[in-house]
Amino acid sequence: MSGMTALKFTLSATLAAILAGSSVHAQNVPQVRVPASRAEIGLSFSPIVKRTAPAVVNVYAQKAARQVSNPFMNDPFFQRFFGGQGLGIPGERAQRSLGSGVIVDADGIVVTNFHVIENAELVRISLADKREFEAEILLRDQRSDLAVLRIKDARERFPYVEFGDSDTVEVGDIALALGNPFGVGQTVTQGIVSAVARTQAGISDYQFFIQTDAAINPGNSGGALVDMAGRLIGINTAIFSRSGGSLGIGFAVPVNMVRVVVDSARGGSAAVRRPWFGAKLQAVTPDIAESLGLKRPAGALVASLAAESPAAKAGIRAGDLIVAIDSTPVDDPNAFEYRYATRPIGGAASVTIERRGKTSNVSVRLESAPDTPREEILIKDALFAGARVANLSPLLAEELRLGTAAEGIVIVDIANGSTAAALGFRRGDIILAVNGEKIGRTRDLERVTAKSGRNWTIVLQRGGQQMNFTLRG
């Protein structure tokens, strides 16, 4: 055989082998094809949108804010402590916020985000058919970043979205987000559930969110996240963004938390009734996991307990590791607190703990935190003017997430445009002492601030840290 003939033979054999291999490989690759029928061409999310869109509304909130100049802001130390907040020109200005909401009851019950209607004096609802109604605020729940409204003077039955079950939502499920992004009008976006049980979003007290890549933008807050059956699975709440627009990372409050808040509002409560556990929980770090002999850093470590709390009565001790509730594993304290908070008052929850290498289940009663008659007063003098303070109780400490050992008086509200607001005091600040006098009751603060003088020494607790500072007039 000549060299040229041999070369041709080799090339032919090689080409045949390649073609044969390609043929075999092609059999394992899904074939791209054109739609085989009109039915396939017409596949659409339109039926879901038609069913849910009429129940998604625009929420307009308005408030009047008065800016004040304050002599205390001239103190350089005070400016450093509070970040220079409150510097402005005296006068009133109208503040408006635009968000979305979802009708969840034919009687006109609407769910939106707390931050959409925070401090609002007037709230209006605009339906998908362009009709507008004034709305009353039934309940604000800052801890979950949810609020419940009711359409005023409603004389009709409204379209609404039924609740789903967020515990059945899985990563990869298709989801639709409905709302009013940037105020352009009702918009629908489609994506998948990117993650469930996101606990590090830093949005609200209950860190437990559904993450989706369905486009969510400013104005979508309070809108609906629905599944392929048209059921509500979450309330769109926030996005992760460096530009202000959607980057495909959006977060929604799971509907099982929404249901708890709505049920409280329907029952006529001005606050959400949640079961009290009565323990301070700590995340398990890799170092802690190693010291405990755990295979991975997971669970919620009990750091301390309130006396006579349900957790203490159930026999839970400091140092116990909580790994599950009602057989549902929990990876961190946020996951446990969400699961526990969505349990109904009454009955009991089965909490699985590990103690010195042994696993056991304890029954914890689901009951509200005890409350004492709440003595609230509005401070009208000096640098705390405009701050409403209250004596702490286990219930109030639980609502404000102040820990199991918190005691004294706490700021529960601050009036817009007030001196206290301008100076940067916050809801949840515990006032420990003023001008060397211990503040144990609300009347103590009222008495101290009524005294004349422009020099102030203040001791407060914020976020578990004690802060001391002095102001000189």
The yes-or-no verdict on residue 10 having pLDDT over 60 is no
CA-based torsion, 65, 68, 72, 76: positive or negative: positive
- Of the candidates 75, 97, 115, 418, the residue annotated as catalytic is 115
Position 171 scores a pLDDT of 93
Q: What is the mean pLDDT of residues 194-201?
A: 76
Instruction: Name the band, by pLDDT with cuts 50, 70 and 90, for residue 402.
Output: confident
Position 1 scores a pLDDT of 47
The yes-or-no verdict on residue 192 having pLDDT over 90 is yes
Comparing 185 with 325, the larger pLDDT belongs to: 325
Position 380 scores a pLDDT of 81
Checking phi first, is residue 248 left (phi over 0); if not, alpha (psi -120 to 50) or beta? Answer: left
Q: Encoding tokens for residue 95?
A: 């503040």
Q: What is the mean pLDDT of residues 15-24?
A: 41
- State the distance between the two ends of the chain, measured CA to CA, in whole angstroms: 109
Residues of the chain with pLDDT > 90, as a percent, come to 41
- Of the candidates 75, 145, 332, 429, the residue annotated as catalytic is 145
The yes-or-no verdict on residue 12 having pLDDT over 90 is no
166 residue type, one letter: S
The yes-or-no verdict on residue 98 having pLDDT over 90 is no
CA-based torsion, 323, 326, 332, 336: positive or negative: negative
Q: What is the mean pLDDT of residues 321-344?
A: 93
The yes-or-no verdict on residue 195 having pLDDT over 60 is yes
Residue 221 catalytic? yes
- Of the candidates 97, 166, 204, 221, the residue annotated as catalytic is 221
Position 68 scores a pLDDT of 46
Position 369 scores a pLDDT of 83
The yes-or-no verdict on residue 348 having pLDDT over 80 is yes
Highest mean pLDDT among 91-105, 324-338, 370-384: 324-338
Q: What is the mean pLDDT of residues 180-194?
A: 88
Comparing 56 with 398, the larger pLDDT belongs to: 56
Instruction: Name the band, by pLDDT with cuts 50, 70 and 90, for residue 47.
Output: very high
Q: Among 80-94, 96-110, 275-289, which is the least confidently predicted range?
A: 80-94
Position 473 scores a pLDDT of 55
Position 166 scores a pLDDT of 93
Position 365 scores a pLDDT of 96
Q: Is the distance from CB of 254 to CB of 268 less than 8 angstroms?
A: no
The yes-or-no verdict on residue 405 having pLDDT over 80 is no
Angle between helices 255-266 and 333-341 (to 10 degrees): 40
Comparing 434 with 4, the larger pLDDT belongs to: 434
The yes-or-no verdict on residue 424 having pLDDT over 90 is no
Nearest to 104 by CA among 262, 265, 270: 262
Q: What rounded mean pLDDT belongs to the chain? A: 81
Instruction: Name the band, by pLDDT with cuts 50, 70 and 90, for residue 359.
Output: very high
Q: What is the mean pLDDT of residues 281-309?
A: 90
- What is the helix, strand, coil percentage profile of the chain, to 5? 25, 35, 40
DSSP annotation string for 1-21? --HHHHHHHHHHHHHHHHHHH
Q: What angle do CA 176, 181, 183 make, to 5 degrees?
A: 140
CATH numbers and ranges of domains, the chain: 44-270 (2.40.10.120), 279-365 (2.30.42.10), 376-471 (2.30.42.10)
Residue 141 catalytic? no
The yes-or-no verdict on residue 205 having pLDDT over 70 is no
Comparing 65 with 353, the larger pLDDT belongs to: 353
Q: What is the mean pLDDT of residues 31-40?
A: 74
8-state DSSP, 131: -
Strand locations in 255-398 (E): 279-283, 300-305, 321-325, 328-329, 348-355, 358-365, 376-378, 387-391
The yes-or-no verdict on residue 83 having pLDDT over 80 is no
Comparing 128 with 205, the larger pLDDT belongs to: 128
8-state DSSP, 176: E
The helix/strand/coil state of 63 is: strand
Q: Please classify residue 153 by burial: count the beta carbons closer than 10 Å to its beta carbon, then call 0-12 exposed, 13-18 middle and 19+ buried.
A: exposed
Position 95 scores a pLDDT of 57
**What length is written for the chain?**
473
Q: What is the mean pLDDT of residues 45-64?
A: 90
Q: Which H or E run contains 139?
A: strand 132-141
Q: What is the mean pLDDT of residues 221-230?
A: 94
Q: What is the mean pLDDT of residues 282-303?
A: 91
Position 372 scores a pLDDT of 67
The yes-or-no verdict on residue 74 having pLDDT over 70 is no
Euclidean distance between CA atoms 31 and 401, whole angstroms: 56
Per residue in 235-249, pLDDT tens? 998 776 555 665 778
Q: What is the mean pLDDT of residues 292-299?
A: 89
Comparing 119 with 48, the larger pLDDT belongs to: 48
Q: Encoding tokens for residue 389?
A: 């303070």
